[in-house]
Structure 1
Amino acid sequence: MSNPYIVGGWVSGALHYGRRGLISHLLEGPNHALWVVGTRRVGKTSLLRQIEALTLTHPQYVPLYVDLQGISTRAEFNQELHYALDEVAARFDAQGIDAAALAQEDELGLLRTLRRQLLAVERTLLLLIDEAEALISIGQPDPALLQRLRKIFLAGSGIRVIMVSTKILLQLNEQAADWNTSPFLNGFAPRNLTALDPVAAAMLIRQSQSAAPVTASEQVINCIRDEAGDHPFLMQMICQRLWQEDNSLRELTSADLIVDDMLAGFFEHDYKYLSAGERRILLAVSRAGVLSENAVREATGLSESETVGFVFGLIKLGYLRVVYNQLAVGNQLLDTWIQQNFARLEQQISSAISDNSSQRLLEAGRREEMRMLQDQLAVLRSNLAELEMQRIQYGIQVPLSLINGINQTKRDIARLEDQLSNLADGLASPHTAFTAAPSRSTY
């Protein structure tokens, strides 16, 4: 039997865990232009590929996945867009669209034609843009191109755009400072790609959706979750190290938690995309081990509103987490890297991402998350009402499965209500909050 944990590549189908609520919101929510923000290796490509797989037989959407990695010019963008269409020409042929006939269209004409022809058959182009950071270099010499692309992306009917990237995409708004029109990202609903929820994290560790689930004790599962902060890539990396030929996971040792050059590169990349204020908070928390929000303000000199906003974003993107109502670094591996490089990182406070841009993104993300939670709550409350009606019909002989379903739905409602309440107060209320204090080196 081969090691079942996939480290480095994207996954979809049964190999993809969690994100169901987010995917539902991205496909069914009111926004037609969405920007999913995440750190490296948190699953941005897998999210798009899973959405593509789920919508292949969708009655409304026709998905087109476009990977902009390595793209830096308009000509390359045009070429990649045509290549992506050629790769899946059959799904557009099924809608009466001859992909080959569009070979001479530029990128703007191609997108307009696809949208128009799909509208004619009452379908919607689902444009899935990976590595959207490339738009920064594509648009630098030609701001008008970005303005025209934005107009198409925000057209509404006939097109839904989901793009994923790191926070560096905020530079698009900095580039658009002298535009007469709105900045590029205005109109895109931002969503944070967070760590997995506890149930999905445990399922990933156990490989519960596979034909041969992995055996792991609750203690090992909890240790992996704690070390990785429920980050899917970090969990799979640790699990890959712990996997044994009998398809079980052994207990962790200190040797399993080494931050190698690959991990160090990922953490360096993620740190680069924090604003100056966010960096100060992360370093202050790492220095102390755990800090209250008030102590963070004292340690950094940031205002209350700045602290609340930055802490919210740092939790959502996995840089921080909540431990016994205090703040700690998001996972032990990241904390180890920070400790190993602390003196150098203290000298790298200035950032290409401004505090103001980051704050605006975080506020918009908080509003969007509240909307998503409200949508999920409406569905759960409707489901609960149906389950309660079924219980009434059974009288006094209610099946145990129905009782369990009702109780689980009530727990889910209570959890979302708690998150929504805290979001309204400007708090992150992460579902990944841990009850064990960070250990830094417990093995």
Structure 2
Amino acid sequence: TKLLSKLNEVNMDWSTSPFLFGFSLANLWRLDPNASLALIAQQQSECPVEVDSRILDDILVHTNRHPYLMQYLCQRLFVAEGVEAGCLRPPEEYDLNPDHLLAGFFQTDFQHLTTLERRILLTISNLTVATDEEVISELNDQPPDRIRMFMYALDKLGYLRKPYGQWAVGNEFMRRWMQDNYQQLTNKLDSMLDESNIESLIKVGRENELQYLHTEIARLQHSLHHLRGQRATADSQGGMELAREIQRLDEELRIARHELNNIPQRAPAALASSNGYHHSESAEILRGPKYYGE
């Protein structure tokens, strides 16, 4: 996490290797659509929850598929039907307001941001939605490539999202919390985190993700080529099973390519120097109950 990076600052003058040397931290963020559906509908339970498709879409949009926030919202929407069965009602405006506990989580999250990250987040909160160019224009004292790199990291950590090609605050609960506390947050821009150290973490994480996605895309393409060859000679039953698997892998390939296209291009050499720490950013996942219907 970002706070762990401060341990590297403590021992920078020591003759030993950095504290986190050799560790590879990974982003832990949103669930994929299938896993999100399984969580919302409690498919692992003996009594799954009935969810209308429109309500499901609303939950996914409002929470941005954050595992804790999905459970948090579903707990508010859950309507018991008998001893064990239940369903989810449509969300109302008041369901999307964070309570004191969630507001405390957001406050802690904000404190873990660098000064530039806070400025980016507040800029987008003030604009509601914003293009890259609008954010760069508002923060014109910073190099554009640096802003894009930090926005990429904020997206990976769930602070931001980019629906329909424009940036927005990561989820509806946080958006409302930031609007309600905007003036107070603008007075707390200064951060104790070493921005250059965090930037180095982001760049290494970016390189790790690029390598992973290129490898994953090649694997998926190879698997699809093999399956399509099998399907050409399969019987009707086997062909249907292969068609479903091909459809699943096609969707995974589409998502991987989309993720690859969203990664910012390499920054100029002057901005791309690394401090030698070989690890990537790790998100701090908000903890929540395993079953919201309990």
TM range (shorter): 0.7 to 0.9
Q: 2:7 aligns with which of 172, 183, 188?
A: 172
Among 104, 109, 116, the residue aligned to 1:277: 116
Task: Give the AA of the match of 1:266.
Answer: F
1:297 aligns with 2:136: yes
Is 1:185–2:20 an aligned residue pair? yes
Match of 1:206 among 41, 50, 55: 41
Instruction: Output the CA distance in 2 between the equivalents of 1:260 and 1:426.
Output: 40
Name the counterpart of 2:251.
411
CA distance in 1, matches of 2:111, 2:246: 45
Contact residue 290 and residue 328 of structure 1 kept, 8 A: yes
Aligned partner of residue 189 in structure 1, secondary structure: coil
Whether the aligned pair in 1 keeps the contact of 2:114 and 2:195 (CA below 8 Å) is: yes
* Runs of 5+ consecutive residues of structure 2 not aligned to the other structure: 268-294
Task: Letter of the 2:80 partner, please give it.
Answer: E
SS, match of residue 26 in structure 2: strand
Superposed, 1:35-434 pairs within 5 Å as: 166-246=1-81, 247-301=86-140, 302-394=142-234, 399-423=239-263, 425=265
Return the alpha-carbon distance in structure 2 between the equivalents of residues 359 and 391 of structure 1. Answer: 47
Q: Please give the secondary structure, in 1, of the residue aligned with 2:161.
A: strand
Displacement of 1:397 in angstroms is 7.7
The aligned amino acid for 1:343 is: Q
- Describe the shift of the 1:345–1:320 C-alpha distance in structure 2 as closer, same or farther (beyond 3 A): same
Give the distance between the partners of 1:248 and 1:283, measured in 2 at CA.
36
RMSD over aligned CA atoms reads: 2.0
Following the alignment from structure 1 to structure 2, what is the Cα–Cα distance between the partners of residues 169 and 408?
38
Structure 1 or 2: more strand by fraction: 1
- The Cα of 1:407 is off from its aligned counterpart by 2.5
Shift of residue 183, structure 1, vs aligned partner = 2.3
Which has the bigger relative contact order, CA under 8 A and spacing at least 6? Answer: 2
User: Does the 8 A contact of 2:149 with 2:264 survive in 1?
Assistant: no
TM-score (norm 2): 0.83
Query: What 5-or-longer segments of structure 1 have no aligned partner?
Result: 1-165, 428-443
CA shift digits 1:199-225 (9 cap, x unpaired): 222221111232222111111111111
User: Partners of 2:264 and 2:168 in 1: how far apart?
Assistant: 22
Deviations 1:294-324 (A, max 9, x none): 1111112321121111001100000000021
Q: Is the 8 A contact 1:190 1:368 kept in 2?
A: no
**Contact kept? 1:308, 1:426, Cα under 8 Å:** no
Give 3-state SS (helix, strand or coil) of 1:352's partner.
Answer: coil
SS of residue matched to 1:357: helix
CA distance in structure 1 between the aligned counterparts of 2:258 and 2:182, rounded to whole angstroms: 35
The letter for the 2-side match of 1:287 is: N
Give the match for residue 124 of structure 1.
none
* SS of residue matched to 2:167: strand
Distance 2:34 2:235 in 1: 32
Aligned residues: 262
Give TM-score, length-normalised by structure 1.
Answer: 0.56
Q: How big is each residue's C-alpha offset from its partner over 1:367-394, in whole Å with a ceiling of 9 and x where there is no partner?
A: 1122322343344234323322321322
Structure-1 separation of matches of 2:163 and 2:254: 20
- Return the letter of the residue paired with 1:179: W
Structure number with larger C-alpha Rg = 1
